[in-house]
Amino acid sequence: MTRTQTSSSLPVTLLQLMTGHWVTQAVYIAAKLGVADLLAKGLTRCDDLAAATHCDAPSLYRVLRALASVGVFSEVSADSFAITPLANLLRSGTPESMRALAILYAEESYWAWGDLLYTVRTGRSAFERQFGMGVFEFFADNPDSGTVFQEAMSALMIRVADAVTSAYDFSAFTTVVDVGGSQGTLLAAILRRNPALRGILFDLPHVVNGAAPVFATSGVQDRCARVAGDFFDRIPPGGDAYILASVLHDWDDSRCATILRHCRTVVPRNGKLLIVEFVLPAGNEPCFGKWVDLQMLVMASGRERSAGEYDALLRAAGFELTRVVPTTAGKSIVEAAPA
């Protein structure tokens, strides 16, 4: 029991924890229906919002009323709502949009979480049990869901990219290779801040094909090459810094060992390997990464790791962990050099 909790408040606290899925689904409804976009366009009455989204007006009102009670939207008068700073993050097409994340966490991901007990009992991915294939196969085979996934990952990486480029000095390098770099959000941010630097984005073909707009918007398209491939087969040479950002947490130790061995074959003697992940603290210290760890367990049988666990993985692959650099985004940069 913490100092701020009393025996009478404990049931309330636990009830809030137990009913968190209510909020998840309500936020999802607002995101899926594009309510924030409609409010931004001037529609405020629930009847008009319901008509625009083909919903039952009384039911939609009850969802919006509940969301307004936690700061997502504001009920300004009977049957009328206004956008709030939180709701603004649910708008589409804005640099800070988290709309795709709200959808991702409440569709396929949410269904997998409903089978968490299976994962805890067996150690196997609930997502694979639900959908009959791995998460990355699923998103490759289902383009609509795959687009949401890529947009959601880019939304997360925007925040991480700002923190990483502020915390780490890339100016000593000549070419950065972003391994499994998705649509290039992090790499574009690094190149934008370091105008003498060149980059290589390496990911699956259907992923890197979507990176061109990101590089063009950032003005770095002339300094960045896109290379298609699978990091379980090979990793392209030519860099003196290699980045694995939100990659290793998708995989178990055996698969991570394969990725790291491929990295070791291309990282030069004076080069660096930079792993951008949550680094889990010991004990009861709060850390969002401990919850992301469960997401990895359910979705892909992956995991977040401690500094000691990264050290062991790196040593086995021929690297030496040189330092861990914290960032303001919660994730850290695990820096390693060839041993």
Is 249 considered catalytic here? yes
The C-alpha atoms of residue 31 and residue 99 are separated, in whole angstroms, by 6
Q: Distance from CA of residue 139 to its chain's centroid?
A: 15
310 sits in which H/E element: helix 307-316
- Cβ(34)–Cβ(53) under 8 Å? yes
In sequence order, the β-bridge partners of residue 243 are 178, 274
- Own/partner long-range contacts of 292-299 (Cβ < 8 Å, ≥24 apart): 292/249, 293/249, 294/116, 295/109, 296/249, 296/250, 297/119, 297/125, 298/109, 298/112, 298/113, 298/115, 298/116, 298/119, 298/125, 298/126, 298/127, 299/109, 299/112, 299/125, 299/126, 299/127, 299/135
The C-alpha atoms of residue 314 and residue 266 are separated, in whole angstroms, by 15
- Cβ(127)–Cβ(299) under 8 Å? yes
Phi-psi region of 252 (alpha: psi -120 to 50; beta: other; left: phi over 0): beta
138 sits in which H/E element: helix 135-141
- Cβ(321)–Cβ(336) under 8 Å? yes
Coil/strand/helix, residue 132: coil
Q: Select which of 54, 206, 249, 262 is catalytic.
A: 249
Say if strands 241-245 and 175-179 run parallel, antiparallel, or are unpaired.
parallel
Q: Which residues are catalytic?
A: 249
